[in-house]
Chains A and B, each alone.
Chain A
Amino acid sequence: MNKHVTLSIDGRTILADEGKNLVDVAAENDIFIPSLCYFKNMDQPLGTCRTCTCKVNGRYGPACTEKVREGMVIEVGTEELKDMRKALVEMMFAEGNHICPACEKSGDCDLQHMGYELGISVSRFPHLFTDHKIDWQARRMLLEHNRCIKCMRCVEEVRTDNGKRVFSYQNRGNDTLVGIDYEQEALLSTEQAREAMRICPTGAIIVRGESLGKPFGQRKFDMKSTRTDFIPQRAYAKSSETKEKKRIATTSLAGCFGCHMSMLDIDTELLELVELVEFDKSPINDIKKFSGRCDLGIIEGGCCNDENIETLRAFREHCDILVSVGECAIWGGLPAMRNQLPLGECLEEAYLNCSTNDAETALVPYHKELPKLLNRVYACREVVKIDYNIPGCPPDAQHIWKAVKNLLWGEKFSILYNEFKYD
């Protein structure tokens, strides 16, 4: 029989059981407090990810380590707090190497989901590109350290039947990672191993042969927000005013043209598009050189060679507004997977040491006509000033189209939940 207490969250008076965890109390009252490390009621919550930071009686602190007390005054929804929580999740993206399109957990990933819910389009922090090795030595599991957010869930929760830990933090500071005990891991039952994979909020723990096997559209966080306070607004209908024709240029640097393909997916609205814009330099019309000033430049892909740099600088020079579209342009994306290795190692692996190459004649191609590779893949904003970023891999066609209409004609827009889901 718990005593009831009255507290206030963002001015709302709430009745709750004394001593209950604040995150749970808020959730029961349809108040969304993001959380990653906290996933069930634990005596001694983990308190590691800090994404539930709010203000309790005027002091900043994580909601998950607060037991509700009588008269507590809690702030959750202030702009500052929203931005702080968003920043913390962005920090995780900058710290790890999260390449969602190549991840089994995409669509079932708490971190990715939190990115959507908080509306993260780009990490404000520079990507750190730390080199984490994949630990494949355990019998049943892979540990992909690049995706680990060090939430402590597995460290605390996954134990063998004799109570020993399977996971434990190793090292300290920015070298901290979660280590796995091969001996203990072998003692886990299949069900226990699956549970470890399930509680991992990212794709860091992968059980071999255990594909999630769910098609897109049926995954945990697919297509529908789990937030009850998230009410998508209807997209604004296109206005009927006649508009001045604008000039657009587009390019794909170190990208796969997937974002360009996505742009074509606006389907019938392409008809509207041709009425409204003229294309300058773009792969769509195969114009190679700028013929004049453009209102908008759309960049797909990051920079992996000096030709990309030249192109990007030309775009900056000719375009009033420059938008990077897709993950590769925003931070490097898939091509940036090589950033964890020195260029020499990549080239030698591909051209010299590769088993299908003839060792006698193998050489790394170098010619004055060939673009020179950069030491790493650079995000566009590292080379020129980028005005806007549209995230996704690729971004939804409607998302790009709405953003373009907004930038060129100031049309108001809102993005529907399923338009910024990319998995």
Chain B
Amino acid sequence: MVQQGTILHNTGFAEPARTRMLDRLWEIQNRQRFISDTDIRRLAGEFSISAIEVEGVVSFYHFFHRKHAGKFTIYVNDSMTSRISGYDRIIRAFERETGARHGTTDATETFGLYATPCIGLCDQEPAALINFHPFTRLNALRIREIIAALKKGAPVETLCDEPAAPIRYTAGERPGIFFTAFTPGDAVSKLKTNSPDTIIGALKTTKLAGRGGAFYPTWMKWQAAADQPTGNKVVICNADEGEPGTFKDRILLQKVPETVIEGMTACARAIGANFGLIYLRAEYQWLQKPLLELLERYRNKKLLGRDCCGLKDFHFDIRLQIGAGSYVCGEETALIESAEGKRGEPRTKWFFPVQRGYLQLPTVVNNVETFSAAARILQHGVENYQSYGIERSSGTKLISVSGDCRKPGIYEINWGTTLRQLLSLCEAEHPWYIQESGPSGTVLSLDDLDVPIAMFDSMLTQHIRCGGALTIFSKNRDIIEILLNYADFYKKESCGICTPCRAGNFIVERKLERIRDGLATNEDLDELRQWGRLMRMTSRCGLGKTATNSIETALKKFAYYFESHTDPADKRLNMKFDLEGATADYEAYKS
């Protein structure tokens, strides 16, 4: 397809205009608070595509609205950590103060009130975004003040909070890896003395593995991209931290964004890339300004741009792409599609991103934490990194701890730390059901207290391969409510193009509702297990493959809970069919 116009970077890298689709939509959304039919037709003309394709993009992302979303658009986090910290109260308070009903705007279109999944502030719930500025630890009084001030014309940016970045623990007695001092250039200055092979070799020695939760060996990815023929190549930093309960990447971007930029630069050097892209989730838009300023400082210091880092013929620059509200864009191929200005639909495995990724060029996509770790390995050396952690699992891991504990925040733990140790560090309160790695991870119970959190290469040793979140629920929380919250999340966040994920998540939610309503039998539980497995084995991407992880493991670890919630009797009549309920609608016509 012929694209009109391209965007040429001074590094020589060219992007088609279409890649600015999300940026253009954001401009419109921010300006007029919704995207009209006229806008869609205009953009279709601009990018030479059909209007329905633009509309497909708009309707994919939940932060784009087709109806006015209010001069002040309020998004309240409706994920589980928010639910247990008073979500309902907060929504009611916003409704009362703004006059907008949940899911709509008020009559004057001043305020729009919406729910959104996790906004990465689980350590300071209840939290909300107003015009994408963060507001944390909300209560009814605070909401009254905020709305009153907004009504009087105070700018949102003067009212919002600077989210705390609570780093609660760094590897015990020692300084840790991720949050030590860092001045720009600390890592990339080593590029002069380290060849691409040495960089990849260092990653191989440290066994650094993808910190988004997949734990694919980073060096293998970089090597595969380096092995592709010389030419345009791309480095993408996945800062679309959508997994509910995870906020470690946010903290890294708040505290040490330099390490991320330098990790990306190191990767570019190692694989021969000339273009970088940070895909930042829309929920973290409040980080956009500081990041852009930082990138500019890096360019001024000649650490980015042509012949950067003092290396002749090494041209590398980074573009910041803001997402628009979609969990599945955290999947690397969906992220690439989204960055190209399309719907965030994961690609098939016909080609891997290292073969054909962004704009069909060899691409490395890594998580924020992975790049940060890579920069630290360059800065402090392999030995320092390996002195942390345990054998077969060296280094440290950032864990976002939230839920029922006294000290939510970031814990930089040595690999090998047990669940018991971590729970005691964060002063968990009557932990009962513990969700590891967010909804896509597994469920832990008190039986797992002595299991180490590690990333052993073999699955033979029992360990918790934690992607970065630990959400603690006490005995006061209802398991089925947690699972239903997750199921609803997946039902809405599935990209919708593969059958098992689109239909499966919907069907699974209906099944869970039966359990909640006390209608389920043992047969239903068996079906839930089988259908979970079906989705795991047949879905197109990680979303569908992991969506039922928590259900499957909860059924295993909390069998007694489910037994007490099901009807064990094998009655041939379906006694739960409610005739009175079923005829209630008709009874309305009784005169």
Contacts and interface: CB of A to CB of B under 8 A. Distances in A.
Interface string B337-364: 0000001010111110000000000000
Contacts of A125: 503, 507, 531
Interface in B158-186: none
Interface in B504-558: 504-507, 510-511, 527, 531, 534, 537-540
A15 interface: no
Contacts of A232: none
A173 interface: yes
B56 interface: yes
Interface residues on A, range: 35 or more
A152 B499 CA distance: 11
A174 B534 contact: no
B499 A50 contact: yes
Contacts of A67: 350
B492 A343 contact: no
Interface string A39-81: 0000111111111010000001110010100000000000000
B416 interface: no
B447 interface: no
A244 interface: no
A96 B582 CA distance: 23
Contacts of A174: 491-492, 494, 496, 502-503, 505-506
Given A47-B348, A84-B537, A384-B574, A91 B52 contact: no
Given A91-B503, A344-B588, A124 B527 contact: yes
27 contacts: A50-B499, A84-B534, A84-B538, A91-B507, A125-B503, A126-B507, A128-B503, A128-B507, A150-B497, A152-B497, A170-B55, A171-B59, A171-B60, A172-B492, A172-B493, A172-B495, A173-B493, A176-B494, A176-B495, A176-B497, A181-B53, A184-B52, A306-B579, A317-B573, A344-B588, A376-B582, A382-B577
B583 A374 contact: yes
Interface residues on B, range: 35 or more
Q: Which 9 pairs from chain A and chain B are nearest by CB?
A: A176-B496, A181-B52, A47-B348, A168-B56, A95-B503, A60-B537, A164-B50, A343-B585, A364-B589
A171 B571 CA distance: 42
Given A171-B59, A173-B493, A384-B574, A48 B499 contact: yes
A169 B55 CA distance: 9
A332 to B, nearest CB: 13
A53 B538 contact: yes
B50 A375 contact: no
A50 B582 contact: no
B540 A167 contact: no
A61 B498 CA distance: 13
B60 A164 contact: no
Contacts, number: 206
A330 to B, nearest CB: 15
B348 A49 contact: no
Contacts of A94: 503, 507
B589 A347 contact: yes
A374 B578 CA distance: 10
Given A88-B538, A94-B507, A181 B574 contact: no
B238 interface: no
Interface centre among A44, A344, A363, A372 (most CB of B within 10 A): A372
B510 A363 contact: no
A309 B579 contact: yes
Interface of A: 43-51, 53, 60-62, 65, 67, 84, 87-88, 91-92, 94-95, 124-126, 128, 149-150, 152, 160, 163-176, 179-181, 183-184, 306, 309, 313, 316-317, 342-344, 347, 363-364, 366, 372-376, 378, 381-385
B583 A373 contact: yes
B590 interface: yes
A306 B578 CA distance: 11
Contacts of B498: 47-50
Given A65-B350, A125-B507, A50 B574 contact: no
Interface in B466-517: 491-500, 502-507, 510-511
A51 B531 CA distance: 15
Contacts of A164: 48-50, 53
Nearest to A36: B499
Contacts of B493: 172-173
A342 B585 contact: yes
